[in-house]
Amino acid sequence: MKFIVSSASLLKELQMLGGVINSTNTLPILDNFLFKINGNKLTLTASDLETTFSTSIIVESESNSLIALPARLLLDILKTFPEQPLTFVKTEKSTVEISANNGKYALAYVEGEEFPKSSEVSDAKTTVLNSKILHTAINNTLFASGNDDLRPVMSGVFFQFSTESLTFVATDAHKLVKYTRTDVTSDGTSEFIMPKKPLQLIKGILLGSEDEISIEYNDTNAQFSFGESTLTCRLIDGKYPNYEAVIPKENPNQMQLGRVDFLNSVRRVSIFSNKTTHQIRLKIAGAALQISAEDFDYSNSAEERLDCDYQGEDIQIGFNSRFLIEMLNNMESDNIKLSMSLPNRAGILSPLDHTEEGENITMLVMPVMLND
């Protein structure tokens, strides 16, 4: 086996795949990247058994070979090279020798046949969409997914595809985000729960991309294909909770105000809130919003007033400031609307600008009981 590749190109591809590899693997082979040479095409693969990620680049070679090379060692050495051609040659000492401009480096390899095969996505349905839309959908929902091992269905993002729209939902029972696109549709009706890790990988890779992305899925696996890359992952098994049931339909009390001003006020006031509950109080009357917090244990308190456009009855409602900050941080609009019904029902945040036609974002935050 012999091939020549650009050091920068190889590093870029391996860094993209590196996010798949766990710090502790049950199988030692999973600490390696799989190199598959087929003529002048080099296919690189990383896997953790649940998620498998492959990508291809063009190299100078005429051989066919399949070997696995240690991921950490390879990434560490590639990061130190300036851009230059690197020559990889398999030796008789069970090593691969890398020749650079100023030196030679030998890495022990493992036969590639030991590397686990990627799951086949058979009898799959397919949906094709623009990668920018998928990136925006993941970006708007992923932060709201849970981390509770006892409720694995809530640790991912719920994909709901129909002939009318595509919907993406994430919740951790305290906050919920529903992102819908009516300008993109699927051939049929399908739903599945994507785990967090592959979505974080896809989110990083698709940033700034304009390519089409093809999603193939069945009951157990999903495969994302874009450019020269393919990511296959096992889906989360289980039934997603009925999220529509927790979204209040009637919300007569509606407040509109600048997102950044609201975010900064909540941030400042929350510093004085109880360190366990992070509770802040919103008191809305007329065209004035009063944001306050109090930590009775230390006699700390804060209060701020903001002008707002408010329609509805006077209301006092409590929220966990961390969830509110997280949601406001993940919005891009200049102005937002907070819709409420009662102090014990969820508040709904939605953007008033910076949304595309056919795009709908609903962020729901559960209230906390006020200590009066």
pTM for the model stands at 0.93
Give a yes or no: residue 315 inside a domain. yes
Tell whether 311 and 358 lie within a shared domain: yes
Please indicate, yes or no, if residue 172 is contained in any of the structural domains: no
Closest by alpha carbon to 105, among 150, 135, 137, 73?
73
Say if residue 260 is in the same domain as residue 233.
no
From 81, 114, 147, give the residue that closes a domain. 114
Biggest distance spanned by C-alpha atoms of the chain: 82
pLDDT in tens, the chain (372 residues): 999 999 999 999 999 999 999 999 889 999 999 999 999 999 999 999 999 999 999 999 988 999 999 999 999 999 999 999 999 999 988 899 999 998 999 999 999 999 999 888 999 999 999 999 999 999 999 999 999 888 999 999 999 999 999 999 999 999 999 999 999 999 999 999 999 999 999 999 998 888 899 999 999 999 999 999 999 999 999 999 999 999 999 999 999 999 999 999 999 999 999 999 999 999 999 999 999 999 988 899 999 999 999 999 999 999 999 999 999 999 999 999 999 999 999 999 999 999 999 999 999 999 998 876
Query: What's the full length of the chain, in residues?
Result: 372
Please check whether residue 173 lies inside any domain of the structure: no
* Closest to 111 (Cα-Cα) out of 36, 10, 2: 36
Q: Are residues 251 and 364 in the same domain?
A: yes
276 is a domain residue: yes
CATH label of the domain that carries residue 38: 3.10.150.10
* Distance in angstroms (rounded) separating the CA atoms of residues 367 and 356: 29
Closest CA to 174 of 284, 47, 319: 319
Give the model's pLDDT for residue 26.
86
Confidence (pLDDT) at 372:
64
Say if residue 95 is in the same domain as residue 207: no
Cα separation, 175 vs 137, in Å, equals 16
Instruction: Answer yes or no: do 358 and 265 share one domain.
Output: yes
Q: Please indicate, yes or no, whether residues 259 and 294 belong to a single structural domain of this protein.
A: yes
> What is the distance between the alpha carbons of residues 344 and 353, in angstroms, rounded to a whole number?
28
Q: Is the dihedral of CA 180, 186, 188, 190 positive or negative?
A: negative
Q: Is position 174 within any domain?
A: no
CA R_g for the chain:
25
- Whether 224 and 131 map to the same domain: the answer is yes
Residue 176 falls inside a structural domain = no
One domain, residues 95 and 12:
yes
Q: Are strands 157-161 and 166-171 parallel, antiparallel or unpaired?
A: antiparallel
Range of the domain at 24: 2-114
Domain count, the chain: 3
Residue 228 belongs to a domain: yes
Query: How many C-beta neighbours within 10 Å does residue 252 have?
Result: 12
CA torsion through residues 119, 120, 126, 131, sign? positive
